[in-house]
Amino acid sequence: MEAKSYILINGDGNLAYYSYYTKAYKGHIAYTPELGKYSILENGYIVVEGTKVKGVYKSLPKEYEYIEVENYGNRLIIPGFIDLHLHGSQLANRGLGLDLELMKWLNAHTFKEEARIKDLRYAETIYNETAKLLLKNGTTRAVIYGTLHRESTELLMNIVNKYGLGAYVGKVSQDKNSPDYLTENAVDAIKEEEVFLRDTINRYKLVKPIITPRFVPACSLELLKALGIMAQKYKVPVQSHLDEDLSEIDFVKEEYPQFKNYASIYDYDGLLGQKPTIMAHCVYLSDDEIRLLAKNKVYVAHCPTSNFNLSGSTAPIKKLIGKGIPVGLGTDIAAGHNISILKVMLQAIQASKVVYSRTHDEKDKLTSPEAFYLATKGGGSFFGKVGSFEEGYDFDALVIDDSNLVYVKPLSIEERIDRFIYIGDDRNIIKRFVAGRAV
């Protein structure tokens, strides 16, 4: 989009002023203002003022009749995808070692790769590729784990910003139960985190820091407490992992018998919704934990591909949504092999059917429009007004050319989206916008 100002005579012969950047996009518009139902407008217009959606219209209102229209014809225009959880350092590990058990896999692949990221040149290569692949696959906003290494993580933010993605990025804090080469002592970890926050908190418009304790088993209470205090002091959000694996949960139980459950350790340390918080996985939440997350409005980053790959278990996602927990989707690269949220949508639908196969309750099934909501507005709301085309929302959008997927029999717009979810891929995404800007 280029900067333009318009001073034109409208149909009534009056002068009409148009602000810089006001523009319309035409196509078949689909989004999910609420869970469970598409809002669809065939051959509609989205008017964008600067970075934000002004409205969606069947025909252009009079006051916009002279603005520039970018016409996408028979293509679909949908909100950009939101990835609430991935490890930016792990791109080169996709699809490797997933026959191994979790701990063997972490040692053989994950930790070693994280250590290599200390090398800024290596980090630059990996992080450039990560940012490019996220955009290629339609992700417009992401919440990303960096590594222990502050400088590499700051580089990650720089790179993500350069590509025009919106993101929260975390320097990982961990001071125990990790390989030596991935452990800071608590004092250094706290100091480095504070430097990281000060360095980055005001540096970019769409890329911001997030406090990132690796997870309870890898952090001392001292470190967790300090991170909770910094979340308040700097008003920054928090991300971590919770209840992914049964052996992880046993470990936490043994280590911290004084706590009622895993989630309450984060809560005690001010890291569970005191500032906006995302917890990845949440496969095995107890009822007490469900209540706690719902009360504190903690986001669950649902990562079904990762869960399938590592444990074969899956979060009872419709139940969590029903209890009032906000939910978005995460790729969890590289326990999740696929960097496409489109593919994660489908795996979320499949995972919900696995839950259904146990409960035989139709309500446990995630429908296509529900998965679409989680992938857009569900996760997007963590970023503010993101993930929808309602008035005031940031214009994050994808243009979908599905002409190779539709043939022989004509399909409704809803059917075209379903088909895109099931058999589409990055080849169908022909244009991406983040906060009004083509990226």
Give the DSSP letter of residue 385: S
Among Zn ion, a second copy, none, what does residue 22 contact (CB within 5–8 Å per kind)?
Answer: none
Among Zn ion, a second copy, none, what does residue 115 contact (CB within 5–8 Å per kind)?
Answer: none
| Site of tokens 């080169």 | 92
The helix or strand, by DSSP H or E, that contains position 279, with its residue range, turns out to be strand 277-281
Q: Which residues pair with 78 in a beta bridge?
A: 398
415 binds a second copy (CB under 8 A): yes
Among a second copy, Zn ion, none, what does residue 96 contact (CB within 5–8 Å per kind)?
Answer: a second copy
407 binds a second copy (CB under 8 A): yes
Torsion, Cα of 221, 225, 231, 234 (10° steps): -130
In terms of residues, how long is the chain? 439
Dist. CA 238–CA 36, nearest whole Å: 28
Among a second copy, Zn ion, none, what does residue 365 contact (CB within 5–8 Å per kind)?
Answer: a second copy
312 binds a second copy (CB under 8 A): yes
CB of 76 to a second copy, least distance (A): 14
Cis peptide before 334 (omega within 30 of 0): yes
181 binds a second copy (CB under 8 A): no
Query: What totals of helices (H) and strands (E) does the chain contain, helices first?
Result: 15, 19
CB of 390 to a second copy, least distance (A): 24
* Binding to Zn ion in span 273-302, by CB under 5 A: 280
CB of 136 to Zn ion, least distance (A): 21
Work out the angle between the directed axes of helices 186-200 and 150-162 (0-180°, nearest 10): 20
C-beta of 6 vs 422, nearer to a second copy: 422
Tokens of 382: 């963590």
Determine the 3-state secondary structure of 52 from DSSP.
Answer: strand
Which residue type, as a one-letter code, is found at position 366? Answer: L
| Site of tokens 């139940």 | 319
C-beta of 240 vs 314, nearer to a second copy: 314
291 binds a second copy (CB under 8 A): no
CB of 123 to a second copy, least distance (A): 11
C-beta of 332 vs 396, nearer to Zn ion: 332
Chain residues in the site for a second copy (CB under 8 A)? 92, 94-99, 101, 122, 125-126, 129, 308-313, 337-338, 349-350, 352-357, 362, 365, 367-368, 407-409, 411, 415, 418-423, 425
